Structure 1
Amino acid sequence: MFDDSGWTADDMDSQAGRNVVVTGANSGIGLEATRALAAHGAHVVMACRSVERGRDAKREIEAEYPGASLTVRELDLADLDSVAAFADWYETTYDSLDVLANNAGVMAIPRSETADGFETQFGVNHLGHFALTGRLLDVLRQTSGRTRVVTQSSMAHESGEIDFDDLQHESEYDKWAAYGQSKLANVLFAYELDRRLRAADASVTSVACHPGFAATNLQLRGPQQSGSRLRLLAMKAVNAVLAQSAEAGAWPLLYAATHPSVDGGEYVGPGGLLNARGHPEEQASSERSRDEATARRLWSVSEELTGVALDLPAPDRS
């Protein structure tokens, strides 16, 4: 269990000499995590779907921290070719990776499909990050010290179910059910990855986290894409009244990525009101997220769908 009940990003140890990849680094929690990591000396690769917005975010951070070490690189998690290109570029550019922060995501959007034909929320939130992790696993494992994969989930995972008969929600689509499935997949993946890394006696650990209820653009994309001005205004009002800042929402990710007490296999989230805000703590995820049989099946299906096989032994289940 963690012992820092009032921890914030200001309490982070020096990250000098460490390489970190943050997906979705140009806005929201990804931007705030990148800002804090750079302020503490890390070199952050800002993996962004829009290079232009990534460069704008990079300039914003550099204006605040002139010595910030940042690189912007295109990564579209909705396109497995883009995932492969990013990973190939990273491995030819860097010889180490200390933290992979699987942070980017989409939430409650109208049904659409990725370049590879996956339902977008499942494809971006889970399958894209599954493939990215698999393609960067070698550089993670060859990095000295304890390296980490941190996968961002959501409180919405608690209502999620993995529908193996209709993973892509083709027969019936509910945007919130699809989102919950993708966020449950994030936790199942994080836990199964940690079990397999332990079975391989690897120096890499895997952690899941969630931001609580943080005011970011994530909540606005669904209403924007569906053309609902009323829902958009309502969500903006809710964010203004109830949500914590994106800066505070980044604390669980930063804690999971950097704190020495994190051992792998944890679920980190805000410890305040309804786990929606506050300082990071270890929490209990849903019963479904701890179902190892579901995790094994999801792992196999994800390898089949993405064509990316993670070279890790299955843990001893006895």
Structure 2
Amino acid sequence: MTSFTTADIASQKGRTYVITGANGGVGRVTASVLAENGARVILAVRNEEKGRAAADAMGGNVEVRRLDLADLSSVRGFASSFADPVDVLINNAGISIPPLERTVDGFESQFGTNHLGHFALTNLLLPQVRDRVVTVGSLVHLIGKIDFEDLNWRTRSYKPYGAYGQSKFANHLSAHELQRRLTAAESPVKSVVAHPGIAATNLMNVEGRGLRHRVEKFFVQSVAHSAGDGALPSLYAATADVPGDSYIGPSRMFGMRGAPSPARRAAKTRNVEDARRLWAESERLTGTVFPLKATGSGAGA
């Protein structure tokens, strides 16, 4: 499909969405559109004041709950607060190329926030998810590499872009492994990845100096589409009839902009050995596990 717009979204009345990082950028647009179409939307945000301001501007059935993906105790508290079913979990929040920082639990901030926080949230909330988990990926996964010997940048020299690429590649690997496990458990829940292309959001508004920063900023400003257009792949992935393990992104300019459609992902995102190894390491680091049992021929999950 190459002409999807918000007008193509059917009524979402009776459906519940949890969206991380929904107080700004692509997440805020995604939440607003779903609320306008009748969904109950939970904004899972670190800053509740900003979340309430965003919710007030949306109208509809919108709630704000605190979630700090950089603190596993916050993730656990957030997940334990849900008693009702969740139709769709959209793992949207993310941070991009900060200086070296660590989460509350000691993880490198981008890997800890973009990947491990969402990994833990997904495992903890999955028993209540009825339809799908949408992971917001990035074109940066194409250049991302996983260093299993130093996932949290403790021995190697920290590179902000390299750390961001690793975290987004991890998102893709984890989403692929999640679908494999859901299939093995004969679960109807689907794992889908969407990426916004190059969207003009605060995530891309990174301060810096030097020629490289100026060139990159000029490039982003030249090709970026709006946050509204950047939200369309997430909305398509969350509401359209797509199969599990789908990858949705903009259809033009090598995936940088345009209407959403099935996209091509790097072959490395389907590396079963790496996906399983990352999953095992992520379980160890977060203390969370896939909560469903494999059945029949899928018992090897």
Q: 2 CA distance for matches of 1:306 and 1:177?
A: 22
Write the deviation string for residues 279-299 of structure 1: whole angstroms up to 9, x where unpaired: 111112112111010000000
Q: For residue 224 of structure 2, what is the amino acid of its counterpart?
A: A
Which of 83, 94, 111 is 1:105 aligned to?
Answer: 94
Which residue of structure 2 lines up, in the alignment, with residue 276 of structure 1? 256
* Length-normalised TM-score, structure 2: 0.94
Which residue of structure 2 lines up, in the alignment, with residue 133 of structure 1? 122
1:69 aligns with 2:69: no
- CA positional deviation for 1:236: 5.8
- CA positional deviation for 1:311: 2.1
Which of 205, 226, 229 is 1:245 aligned to?
Answer: 226
Please tell me whether the aligned partners of residues 127 and 291 of structure 2 are also in contact (alpha carbons under 8 angstroms): no
- How much identity, in percent, do the aligned residues show? 47
- CA positional deviation for 1:174: 0.6
Please tell me whether the aligned partners of residues 219 and 235 of structure 1 are also in contact (alpha carbons under 8 angstroms): no
1:59 aligns with 2:56: yes
Q: 2 CA distance for matches of 1:239 and 1:81?
A: 36
- CA positional deviation for 1:53: 0.5
Which of 238, 260, 265 is 1:257 aligned to?
Answer: 238
1:154 aligns with 2:138: yes
Please tell me whether the aligned partners of residues 79 and 114 of structure 1 are also in contact (alpha carbons under 8 angstroms): yes
Q: 2 CA distance for matches of 1:313 and 1:182?
A: 27
Q: For residue 184 of structure 1, what is the amino acid of its counterpart?
A: F
Which residue of structure 2 lines up, in the alignment, with residue 188 of structure 1? 173
Which residue of structure 1 lines up, in the alignment, with residue 17 of structure 2? 20
Which residue of structure 2 lines up, in the alignment, with residue 210 of structure 1? 195
Q: Please state whether the residue corresponding to 1:150 is helix, strand or coil.
A: strand
* Length-normalised TM-score, structure 1: 0.89
Q: 2 CA distance for matches of 1:237 and 1:163?
A: 31
Where structure 2 has 5 or more consecutive residues not aligned to the other structure, the ranges are none
Q: For residue 186 of structure 1, what is the amino acid of its counterpart?
A: N
- CA positional deviation for 1:316: 6.6
Distance change in 2, residues 1:69/1:200 (3 Å):
same
In angstroms, what is the RMSD of aligned CA positions?
A: 1.8
Which residue of structure 2 lines up, in the alignment, with residue 201 of structure 1? 186
Q: 1 CA distance for matches of 2:143 and 2:300?
A: 26
